[in-house]
Structure 1
Amino acid sequence: MKEDFLHHLWQFKKFDIVNLKTTKGESIQILNSGQYLQLTGPDFFNAQLIIGNQKWAGNVEIHLKSSDWYIHHHEQDSNYDSVILHVVWEHDVPIFRKDNSEIPTLELKAYVALSDLHKYQSLISQKSWIYCENQIGSVDHFILKKWQERLFFERLEKKSQLIFELLKELNQDWEAVLFCLLAKNFGLNTNGEIFFKIAKSIPFSVVRKESFSLESLESLLLGKANLLSHDFQDSYAKEIKNSYYYLVQKYQLNIKVVGSVEFFKHRPDNFPTIRLVQLANLYFHRKNLFSILIQSSSINQLYQVFNVGVSMYWETHYNFDKESSKKIKKLSKSFIELIIINTIIPLRFAFAQSQKKEIAQELIDLVIAIPSEQNTIIEKFQSFGIESKNVYESQALLQLKNKYCDNKKCLNCDIGYFILKK
């Protein structure tokens, strides 16, 4: 038994509310069970009850046992002075206010149907992956679709919080925020954090001024990644190195190394050298990139924006001084889709919030045009009968697993609620 089940019972009145009595035998009528705000303090605020012949307005606190009140030191916390009813599963000790008056207690286990208790116990019985894996396939399609939309935007809201924090740090410059987020995604999981630090270490005003020179952009990114500290043989490498130190002097840049990029276990196309020069190429060919991405109205337009490759030297190199077979090295469609999912969609959502604009359907239209991500989480849900055809559905499933299933928040989940209600 967990407290969240008792919260569920009280919030939705999933018990016999007709003949309720306190442990002292006084009748209880629930006029309003209160607001479940999940904040510090009592569990339910502004409840309205009739206890005996007296009408009360105040808060309700819920525990597994009455004695939990003292274990949690509520008797020392003024936030609990306004509690009008203590709801518990098992009453073991009386609870008193500071003025020594006893707080009325409702022992809930006497009023809960065994069938509801069995449903709850069945739901939270540990399975191999998620609690509801034996029931989720039978959940009503309408319930799933409605919950899916909430999960998708809940995931975007979480990502937008990080974007707004970065926006504040970068003096409300949306272009600078985009540059940092793109850099992080170009670095993928292995080099993402280092690329992010590299982008933050270069004032975006410098990127704007130097965006007309591909050599300057490449030298800034490669130099900040500490990839220009060697004595090179190739003339291009020497030029890039000289360009970097010239720009450091010109803009008085800090040359402190932010970390080391990782080559190990990467396929050559994902080498940090290639990803950094692709990022430089993007900013060389796409001026006012933020505006372009905000205004792009279709997935095909977004694909076209990121249709960039590398400069001539890098067509025959993956690293300095080591020539290889010629390859154009354009961003792949799957890589562009990762950028759209992890950078463009969250950024557009956050920007619309800042402008107080509603673009929910616009974003949904974009992501349903992208095939579903394929990973172990999506595959596992599919084995339970939950299909994922596009990114809209796969992002919702990732949010479901990471936010609810992994944290055992079945009773905060529409799927868990449906299973208990069925």
Structure 2
Amino acid sequence: MLFTEDFLYHVWKFRLYDRTELRTTNGELIDVLSPGMQNSHSGPDFQQARIKIGDTVWAGNVEIHVAASDWQKHNHQVDKAYDNVILHVVFRNDATVYRTDGIEIPALELEHRIPAELYSRFHGLVYGRAQFIPCENSIHRVDDLTIRNWITRLQIERLEKRAYGIANALHQNRGDWEETFYQYLAANFGFKINALPFEMMAKSVPQIILAKHKNNPLQIEALLFGQAGFLEDDFEDDYPNKLKAEYQFLRAKYTLQPGDKYAWKFMRLRPLNFPTIRLAQFAALVIRSNHLFSKILDVTDVNALRDLFADIKVNSYWETHYKFDAEAAPVSKTMGAESVNNLLLNTLALFLFAYGKQTGQEKYADRSMALLEALPAEHNSIVQGFADLGVKSKSAFESQALLELKNNYCNYKRCLNCAIGNKILNL
């Protein structure tokens, strides 16, 4: 049989083995009163198990291996953390194992107790040749309640992981939520392809400097375009030359070092998503909004949150340009609904959740969930792939959870850690 210990964990946890006349390899009767709680950290695999062996009820830990000899391979025989193991559960008992004091540990062999159908379902999931997700041929058999409950858990898991990154950034920014939010928001303006140069630009010109020039839009624009590295060339147009002049003064005043404009990517982007246009929009937002994160904490209505980013007016120069010194047909450069939703989804909802968890104010975490449920589902190949299998997203809350499912469970065939995979195995 081809499987890992994870499969045996699943079998043990859900008691999916033949429990008739259970005996140790030494012939003593076994009654599993409780399999224990699975341990995801170091130490024995299941803790606080209760097992009756012969006439004695034991309370302690259970260790699981494919082969009993793995006990020695993992050096458990010299590790006192395993002295409280009361039962060694193995697929094949090819060795006798002992605690550090030399006392033999009872063993239960499962080789002939695992149903062939269960193994077949497991093998089909983990070792099958699915094109999209391992359970694509059987997910239709899983009830909607199981799927929806798992989606909720996955979205919370996704937010918790991403909130951990915010906690680290917050520490680097000495607990300054406004500065941390400003940096994340800037990265979001760059989408994935220009997220890093946008983030580096924001870190190079902190909000405290921008705040000193909040009443001078040209200087705000000069600081951002200059630190992005776009004002090092010679220009023909009046607007970039004014920016350059302002930046040279501000650069000397604050001892600034411009970034590298070649770090920014233009290829394969629609002109409306060129980094120059996104920088112009970001500058317009900075000019219009002071202490933006504080405002977000005070706003409870989704439409009011959208209004914070809607109708942002960029400098009129960009109405007829996508790059400096390159005139183009007039096109509105205000942020579209999709871009605004992207910011609400990837920055605002995330920060509301992180702030709620960091400060112990659950109302902000709840507001984050409500915001995600109010936003439309994303459109991408993963969301469409699940929709084709009958799992359709009604909101960004659900589409985000499906991204977590595909990228961190399905792609790694973690079916045994997935509620959907568990359901399929236990059908």
- TM-score for the superposition, normalised by structure 1: 0.94
| Residue type at the aligned position of 2:65 | H
SS in 1 for 2:44: coil
Looking at structure 2, the residues matched to 251 and 169 of structure 1 have their Cα atoms a distance apart, in angstroms, of 21
Match of 2:415 among 393, 405, 410: 410
Tell me: CA distance 1:179–1:60, structure 2 relative to 1, closer, same or farther (3 Å): same
Please name the residue that 2:29 is paired with.
27
Q: Which residue of 1 aligns with 2:402?
A: 397
Deviation of 1:6 (Å): 0.9
Whole-Å separation in 2 of the counterparts to 1:248 and 1:132: 57
Specify every segment of 5 or more residues in structure 2 that has no aligned partner in the other structure, as ranges. Answer: none
The worse-fitting range, judged by mean Cα deviation, of 358-367 and 326-335 is: 358-367
Go from structure 1 to structure 2 and tell me whether the alpha carbon gap of 1:194 and 1:259 turns closer, same or farther (over 3 Å shift). Answer: farther
Distance 1:259 1:159, change over 3 A: farther
| Deviations 1:133-159 (CA, angstroms, capped at 9, x unpaired) | 111122111111211111111111111
Map 1:51-200 → 2, pairs under 5 A: 51-126=53-128, 127-200=130-203
Does the CA-based 8 Å contact 1:20-1:28 persist in structure 2?
A: yes
Greater mean alpha carbon deviation, residues 106-115 or residues 369-378: 106-115
1:298-377 pair list within 5 angstroms: 298-307=301-310, 308-359=312-363, 361-377=366-382
- Within 1, Cα distance between the matches of 2:258 and 2:198? 15
Amino acid at match of 1:183: A
Counterpart for residue 261 of structure 1 = 264
Residue type of the alignment partner of 1:398: L
Deviations 1:264-302 (A, max 9, x none): 222211111111111010011112211222222233212
Instruction: Kindly provide the amino acid, as one letter, of the partner of residue 221 in structure 2.
Output: E
Contact 2:353–2:366, Cα closer than 8 Å, also in 1: no
2: CA distance between counterparts of 1:173 and 1:128? 45
- Alignment-mate amino acid for residue 6 of structure 2: D
- CA distance in structure 1 between the partners assigned to 2:99 and 2:267 by the alignment: 63
Shift in Å at residue 50 of structure 1? Answer: 2.5
Cα distance in 2 for partners of 1:293, 1:378 equals 28
Deviating runs (4+, > 6 A) in structure 1? none
What corresponds to 2:18 in structure 1? 16
Shift of 1:82: 2.5
Give the corresponding residue for 2:39. Answer: 37
Shift of 1:255: 4.0
Q: CA deviation at 1:312?
A: 1.6
The one-letter code matched in structure 2 to 1:73 is N
- d(CA) in 1 for partners of 2:21, 2:213: 76
Match of 1:384 in 2: 389
Asked if the contact 1:60–1:84 (Cα under 8 Å) also holds between the matched residues in 2, the reply is yes
Change (3 A) 1:109 1:336: same
Is 25-34 or 194-203 further displaced after alignment?
25-34
Say yes or no: does 1:237 pair with 2:240: yes
**Equivalent residue of 1:210, what SS?**
coil
Of stretches 109-118 and 376-385 in structure 1, the one that deviates more from structure 2 is 109-118
Q: Residue type matched to 1:81 in 2?
A: D
Displacement of 1:240 in angstroms is 1.0
Q: Look up the equivalent residue of 2:191 and give its one-letter code.
A: L
Alignment correspondent of 2:213 = 210
Does structure 1 residue 228 correspond to structure 2 residue 231? Answer: yes
Look up the SS of the partner of 2:62 in the other structure: strand
Q: Which amino acid aligns with 2:348?
A: I
- Distance in 2, Cα, partners of 1:316 & 1:147: 48
- Gaps in structure 1 of 5+ consecutive residues: none
Structure 2 SS opposite 1:117:
helix
CA distance in 2 between partners of 1:237 and 1:202 (Å) = 19
**406, 416, 425: which one pairs with 1:420?**
425
Asked if 1 retains the 8 angstrom alpha-carbon contact of 2:230 and 2:261, the reply is no
Aligned-residue offset at 1:258 = 8.9
Cα distance between partner residues in 2 of 1:390 and 1:120? 31
Where 1:109 maps in the other structure, the secondary structure is coil
**1:197–1:258 Cα contact (<8 Å) kept:** no
Partner-residue secondary structure (3-state), 1:381: helix
Deviates more, 1:396-405 or 1:230-239: 230-239
2: CA distance, partners of 1:35 / 1:157: 23
Out of 385-394 and 336-345, give the one that drifted further. 385-394
Alignment RMSD (CA, Å): 1.9
Change (3 A) 1:256 1:192: closer
Q: Distance in 1 between matches of 2:34 and 2:212?
A: 62
In the TM superposition, residue 34 of structure 1 has moved relative to its aligned partner by 2.0
Q: Is the 8 A contact 1:225 1:259 kept in 2?
A: no
| CA apart distance, 1:241 | 1.3
The range that moved more, 378-387 or 256-265, is 256-265
Paired letter, 2:126: I
How far did 1:369 drift? 2.6
Deviation (angstroms), 1:385: 1.2
Distance (whole Å) between structure 2 residues aligned to residue 27 and residue 322 of structure 1: 84
Q: Tell me how far 1:60 sits from its aligned partner.
A: 1.2
| Cα distance in structure 2, aligned partners of 1:247 and 1:27 | 82
Distance 1:10 1:258, change over 3 A: farther
Asked if the contact 1:309/1:328 (under 8 Å) is kept, the reply is no
Distance 2:94 2:347 in 1: 53
